[in-house]
Chains A and B, each alone.
Chain A
Amino acid sequence: MQALEYVMKKTMYEKIWDSHLVVDEAGQAPLLYVDRHLMHEVTSPQAFEGLRLSGRKVRNPHSILATMDHCVPTKNRDLPIADPIAKKQIETMAENCRVNGLKLYDMTDPNNGVIHVVVPEHGFVHPGMVVVCGDSHTATHGAFGALAFGIGTSEVEHVMATQTLPQKKSKTMQVIVNGELSKYASAKDIALAITGKIGTAGGTGYVIEYTGSAIRELSMEGRMTLCNMAIEAGARAGLVAPDEKTYEYLKGREFAPSGQYWDQALAYWKSLPSDEGALFDATVTLEAADIAPQVSWGTSPEQVTGVDGVVPAPESFTDEIKRQACENALAYMGLTPNTKITDIAIDLVFIGSCTNGRIEDFRIAAEMAKGTKVANGVTAIAVPGSYHVKQQAEDEGLDKIFIDAGWEWRDPGCSMCLAMNGDELTKGQRSASTSNRNFEGRQGKGGRTHLVSPAMAAAAAAAGHFVDIRKL
């Protein structure tokens, strides 16, 4: 009897999976229903083309929300886009949304911004949903207890035509972060520490559920930062169980349930958290107090250490592949083993992206930047994740703090996270960046990226090198 009860207990992932199964027959991939489909200009045009060529239509236009973020300029928005290919991509997006009757926040819309920042602002994603987007950082929306994952362009077309996706069920991994974070360690540091611990393939084949007291303490913004980087640990999706913070955040937003529906939705949301005693396929545990502010030193998000650490030597890795990866990374990054992280000088600081482009990120960065000056020879740019974030920051006077400290205060977009819009590093330049990937060339060919939290980035801007912000 007890054993049977044990089998019946479900994780949150399993509950969402089960409630979205449309077809589950032997000999074919299960078909999963999709509630929300997010779009941007880079991964959608070929999907619309495919739809057009096959004479198919968008099945549920109301399930789609689109924005323009990857290619958009973050300054001189009023001027025409200089890059003709980017301009065509932007125009194609607008035309595709117009023809198919889709809601689009275009470049000039006051709601415009980075898709994964904009969507939560409007309450478009709720707990228990299945959410997809042609973008690996779709995992962000797992912060609401939604199963949200990135898909390819063929799948974008598939979802438009059928509102479903053939999917293979993932394994489940519980990442428990207990205890209290130290001062100035943030959700970003938890995300980097997890990737450092399990590696960029550690979560492959899994959906991660983040649990533990340190996770419950995170704000919704912090949970978004954390889930956003589930993909950096190889997991397609990350989840945090919804709680009072989630409901409080959603209440009153444009697309959140209202009136008679609120209580009904709330009752459903409260049924979602993993059952006590539900089994996960893997468990990883971290102590929050042990997590120092993190700095990546290599060309993969798993090549990361605490700010009080040093650049490792290749010989320190027993695994031959990791040893070789370290050697290659140090050559690309122009770093020598045993250099103190705090001795690494930087040329550019970028605060923004779907990882760290929300209001709380600019608040903490402004706190660090207040009364400082950007170091000689350093360029520092602050790129809000959306016009709403920008407006909120300006209402709080944060823009003035940045500008007084010598920062550039820009319009929203993906900007230097992937450097498609002209904001980029030149060869050999080194950045402190709040984005999510430090791959070779990600921020510009030959550019060298160090991933950090907003507080760490702002402190580095003033000092010209990394600083242990716990000692300030």
Chain B
Amino acid sequence: MEPYKKHESIAALLNRSNVDTDQIIPKQFLKKVERSGFGQHLFHDWRFNDDGSDNAEFELNKPAFKGAKILVAGDNFGCGSSREHAPWAIADYGFNTIISTSYADIFYNNCFKNGILAIRVDKEQLDKLMSEIAANEGVRFVVDLENQQITTPGGNGFSFEIDPFRKSNLLSGLDDIGLTLKHVDKIDQYEQQHKKNYPWLWA
């Protein structure tokens, strides 16, 4: 996983609530056995017309949002299925940061496994960011994870909260499994006790 670095980028606006993972990556694209190449299908049903051409009405197709790394979206983003194809598609498309008031639990976890910083903000902060983008499409925000700070040209910046464990993993780009395996002795010990406590599970 790439370490997450402080960056300045266009912030794209997707002012919709309860965006579900079926929209982020529709099921017809879940049959691949690889992790890569899902970005071309991100938001497929909204993004493309029936004939395969770009749907000009869809927010992310606006030229001003081209190259955006920051996605600003409505409440309860990523609800629905557990498919990690959703964050894979988001990351592969080019986003590394999502800003919303809330996320579905599984999606939220999945983001951090894929180098995506999902920032929770309050309603008022989100409204301000959304207004700033709407008034000035193509505006660039600065996201500084180290200092937990978002800065905007319109002065709508603020600091945000993040779990210290998730933060350090993103900053270092460390592999979760490697971290857990540092505790392999404890896992072994636990398992020995588990066999004594619940022998029927090992019979």
A470 close to chain B: CB less than 8 A: no
Chain B interface residue number, banded: 35 or more
B51 close to chain A: CB less than 8 A: no
B152 close to chain A: CB less than 8 A: no
Which of B82, B104, B163, B187 has most A Cβ within 10 Å?
Answer: B82
Say whether A152 contacts B113, CB under 8 Å. Answer: yes
Which of chain B's residues have a CB closer than 8 A to the CB of A54? 175, 177
A28 to B184, CA, bound (A): 15
Closest 8 CB pairs of A and B: A257-B200, A261-B200, A154-B113, A45-B33, A152-B110, A152-B84, A150-B82, A153-B84
- Per-residue interface assignment for chain A, residues 61 to 83, with 1 indicating a CB less than 8 Å from any chain B CB and 0 otherwise: 01000000011000000000001
A463 to chain B minimum Cβ distance, whole angstroms, is 29
Number of interface residues of A (CB under 8 A): 72
Contact of A42 with B83 at beta-carbon distance under 8 Å, contacts A152-B110, A162-B177, A440-B23 already known: yes
Which partner residue on chain A sits nearest B33 by CB separation? A45
Say whether B113 contacts A155, CB under 8 Å. Answer: yes
- Per-residue interface assignment for chain B, residues 26 to 63, with 1 indicating a CB less than 8 Å from any chain A CB and 0 otherwise: 11101111110000000001000000000000000000
Say whether A158 contacts B176, CB under 8 Å. Answer: yes
- Residues B93-109 near A (CB distance < 8 A): 102-106, 109
Say whether A236 contacts B199, CB under 8 Å. Answer: no
Q: A interface vs B, CB < 8 Å?
A: 19, 22-23, 27-29, 31, 33, 35, 42-43, 45-46, 49-50, 54, 56, 62, 70-71, 83, 85-86, 88-89, 92, 126, 129, 134-136, 138, 149-155, 157-158, 161-164, 166, 168, 200-201, 204-205, 234, 236, 257, 261-262, 264-265, 268, 300, 321, 324-325, 418-420, 437, 439-442, 445
B76 close to chain A: CB less than 8 A: yes
Say whether B180 contacts A166, CB under 8 Å. Answer: yes
Say whether A200 contacts B76, CB under 8 Å. Answer: yes
Which of chain B's residues have a CB closer than 8 A to the CB of A445? 26, 45
A267 to B104, CA, bound (A): 36
Which partner residue on chain B sits nearest A89 by CB separation? B31
Say whether A321 contacts B74, CB under 8 Å. Answer: yes
Contact of A440 with B22 at beta-carbon distance under 8 Å, contacts A31-B183, A152-B113, A204-B104 already known: yes
Which of chain A's residues have a CB closer than 8 A to the CB of B109? 151-152, 155
Contact of A440 with B28 at beta-carbon distance under 8 Å, contacts A155-B113, A162-B181 already known: no
Say whether B106 contacts A152, CB under 8 Å. Answer: yes
Return 18 A-B CB contacts under 8 Å, by A number. Answer: A23-B186, A46-B34, A70-B30, A86-B31, A92-B33, A136-B82, A153-B35, A154-B114, A164-B180, A166-B179, A204-B76, A204-B103, A234-B104, A236-B106, A418-B81, A420-B28, A441-B22, A441-B26
A138 to B81, CA, bound (A): 11
A134 to B103, CA, bound (A): 18
Say whether A419 contacts B183, CB under 8 Å. Answer: no
B116 to chain A minimum Cβ distance, whole angstroms, is 12
B17 close to chain A: CB less than 8 A: yes
Say whether B83 contacts A43, CB under 8 Å. Answer: yes
- Per-residue interface assignment for chain B, residues 188 to 203, with 1 indicating a CB less than 8 Å from any chain A CB and 0 otherwise: 0011001001111111
Known interface pairs A161-B180, A162-B181, A234-B104; 18 further A-B residue pairs with C-beta atoms within 8 A, sorted by A's residue number: A22-B186, A23-B183, A27-B165, A31-B180, A31-B183, A43-B82, A134-B84, A138-B82, A152-B87, A153-B84, A155-B110, A158-B177, A201-B76, A321-B17, A419-B27, A420-B27, A420-B31, A437-B81
